[in-house]
Amino acid sequence: MSPAALLRALPLAALLLLSPVRAVRQARRPNVVLILTDDQDVCLGGMTPLKKTNTLIAQMGVTFVNAYVPSALCCPSRASILTGKYPHNHHVVNNTLEGNCSSKLWQKIQEPYTFPALLKAVCGYQTFFAGKYLNEYGAEDAGGVGHVPPGWSFWYALEKNSKYYNYTLSVNGKARRHGENYSVDYLTDVLANMSLDFLEYKSNFEPFFMMIATPAPHSPWTPAPQYTKSFQNVSAPRNSNFNIHGKNKHWLIRQAKTPMSNSSIQFLDDAYRKRWQTLLSVDDLIEKLVKKLEVNGELDNTYIFYTSDNGFHTGQFSLPIDKRQLYEFDIKVPLLVRGPGIKPNQTNKMLVANIDLGPTILDIAGYDLNKTQMDGMSLLPLLRGDKNVTWRSDFLVEYQGEGYNGSDPTCPGLGPGVTHCFPDCVCEDSYNNTYACVRTLSASWDLQYCEFDDREVFVEVYNLTADPHQINNIAKTIDQEILEKMNYRLMMLQSCSGATCRTPGVFDPGYRFDPRLMFSNHGLRARRFSAQFL
């Protein structure tokens, strides 16, 4: 066996003991931990089960109550976290290899410039990853589990999508198979144990970054044995957009059957309970991690971020269960942060997005953000409570549907292009479920403006001050000037890159509107995006 192969095969403890020692002067820089859950909503009670997390992170730091993702799907969202970029700049548009999810193109063009790569190569951080990376990671056509992305000192990545048992991990490029024995295989607990081992054996002479990406609460929603009886009396919330017809919405929403069948409602209620049950193991992971940092004397010098890759819906507008839609329940996520200089029990209402995580963590590490091409903004001034911070009032949401030009065999009557269909033929996605939105939050407006790239060139607009559950599409009644300005702003954001993604929004004093460009190439932007990169 070659020396390189031998090194890859060593257990975590041995690798850590062999890790090179950097200058002692680096030791005082802050450490960073990022915990990323999978499909955890915030609008429908997704944080409720996490009592320990609330106590140990939220109550000891800041909760961002307006935190969003620019794409409500796992792979594009995770790519945005890693790169600090919108999907139109990192080019990961959905969960497929064809959609650039962990593809060779992603590995060549984007991976070398992710924030962990910069942390390790430039800032001298030891970096640790454990859990779900990108949905197609480990695919044979993308290099298999032998591919270890640049930027990671220690790599424990799940092959493909979320599982709890019977999965394969890439352990520094070597496949390790796990079975279905709870004590040694339950993935959330395995990630917790690996993380504790890293904290036990890592170098004490250089700062560290840890990214722990749990499977919970993603399907198949397999709880740990001790939690299978929890929340027996809990059902999915019956809020005002539950089990109603999505009138005046895009055709994919309108195709849902209302009222839902009893079997669909029972299914989504069961899924909702199981999702909560899986999160109890995440809560245990957080507790173990914080206690270990405290015992090691490192808690006071460590930032801990907690967030999710996207939200989720359970019965809203009669869609049984999924994400991928433009509404608050799918694009809004939890974001909790504790760390040095952050006052306890803080709530921040600024409009933040997961493209801000990379710039924030690099800023914490002392990296010059002017050297990056990231679209996001550093949250560090908000974390420190700086006064008179100039902040965004809008951001971009964009998604390109999966699907294919064929019929779902379970729902042949719906025609070609639909996907993720339930037995009663309600489908959650389609190849032309392709849209872009401006989500605006300012002193005067809480607004969402969306355009679909389809034959209808459909537009949805919501005033969330009057209609927080996004029931009434006001595209045909809103003031025409606002509509025109939002259309123009959407054009600007869809073509933005880096600093131009942070220009003033429609309701900022510095916004400049040129009506001559208002409807230029209207409806063609997403098509160009699709043809160019897929």
Is the per-residue pLDDT at 95 higher than 60?
yes
Confidence tier at 513 by pLDDT (50, 70, 90) = confident
* Residues 220 and 361 grouped into a single domain: yes
Type of residue found at 429: D
Confidence tier at 531 by pLDDT (50, 70, 90) = very low
Cis check: omega of the bond before 504, within 30 degrees of 0: no
* Number of domains, the chain: 2
* Residues 318 and 443 grouped into a single domain: no
Confidence tier at 524 by pLDDT (50, 70, 90) = very low
* Residues 463 and 416 grouped into a single domain: yes
Query: Would you state the pLDDT for residue 354?
Result: 98
Q: In angstroms, rounded to a whole number, what is the distance separating the alpha carbons of residues 360 and 378? A: 4
Render the burial of 34-72: b for 16+ CB within 10 Å, e for the rest.
bbbbbbbbbbbbbbebbebbbebbbebbbbbeebbbbbb
* Residues 404 and 334 grouped into a single domain: no
Q: Which of 384, 413, 437 is the last residue of a domain?
A: 384
Query: Would you state the pLDDT for residue 510?
Result: 87
Residue 133 inside a domain? The answer is yes
Query: Would you state the pLDDT for residue 14?
Result: 56
Is the per-residue pLDDT at 6 higher than 60?
no
* Residues 402 and 380 grouped into a single domain: no
How many Å from the N-terminal Cα to the C-terminal Cα in the chain? Answer: 40
Across 372-400, average pLDDT: 96
* Residues 325 and 425 grouped into a single domain: no
Residue 7 inside a domain? The answer is no
Residue 1 inside a domain? The answer is no
Q: Phi, psi (5° rounding) for residue 127? A: -120, 140
Query: Would you state the pLDDT for residue 23?
Result: 37
Place of tokens 């269960």: 321
* Residues 58 and 181 grouped into a single domain: yes
Is the per-residue pLDDT at 525 higher than 60?
no
Q: In angstroms, rounded to a whole number, what is the distance separating the alpha carbons of residues 43 and 334? A: 9
* Residues 362 and 428 grouped into a single domain: no
How confident is the model over 176-211, as pLDDT tens digits?
999 999 999 999 999 999 999 999 999 999 999 999
Q: Which of 351, 384, 417 is the last residue of a domain?
A: 384
Is the per-residue pLDDT at 381 higher than 80?
yes
* Residues 284 and 355 grouped into a single domain: yes
**Angle 222-224-228 (CA atoms, 0-180°, nearest 5)?**
80
Across 327-340, average pLDDT: 98
The active-site residue out of 43, 74, 437, 450 is 74
Query: Would you state the pLDDT for residue 26?
Result: 42
Collapsing DSSP to helix, strand or coil, 352 comes out as strand
How confident is the model over 50-61, as pLDDT tens digits?
999 999 999 999
With pLDDT > 90 as the criterion, what percentage of the chain qualifies?
Answer: 83
| Domain assignment of residue 335, given as a range | 31-384
Residue 24 inside a domain? The answer is no
Residue 512 inside a domain? The answer is yes
Residue 3 inside a domain? The answer is no
* Residues 367 and 461 grouped into a single domain: no
What's the whole-model pTM score? 0.93
Q: Phi, psi (5° rounding) for residue 27? A: -65, -25
Query: Would you state the pLDDT for residue 199?
Result: 98
Query: Would you state the pLDDT for residue 454?
Result: 82
Q: In angstroms, rounded to a whole number, what is the distance separating the alpha carbons of residues 169 and 62? A: 33
Does the active-site annotation cover 450?
no
Residue 161 inside a domain? The answer is yes
- Are the CB atoms for 242 and 316 separated by under 8 Å? yes
How confident is the model over 414-468, as pLDDT tens digits?
778 888 888 888 999 998 899 999 999 999 999 999 999 988 889 999 999 999 9
Is the per-residue pLDDT at 387 higher than 70?
yes
- Which of 105, 145, 42 lies closest to 352, judged by CA? 42
Query: Would you state the pLDDT for residue 534?
Result: 28
* Residues 492 and 429 grouped into a single domain: yes
Residue 240 inside a domain? The answer is yes
Q: Which of 317, 351, 384 is the last residue of a domain?
A: 384
* Residues 149 and 204 grouped into a single domain: yes
- 455 contacts: CB under 8 Å, gap ≥ 6: 432
The CATH number given to whatever domain includes residue 281 is 3.40.720.10
Is the per-residue pLDDT at 64 higher than 70?
yes
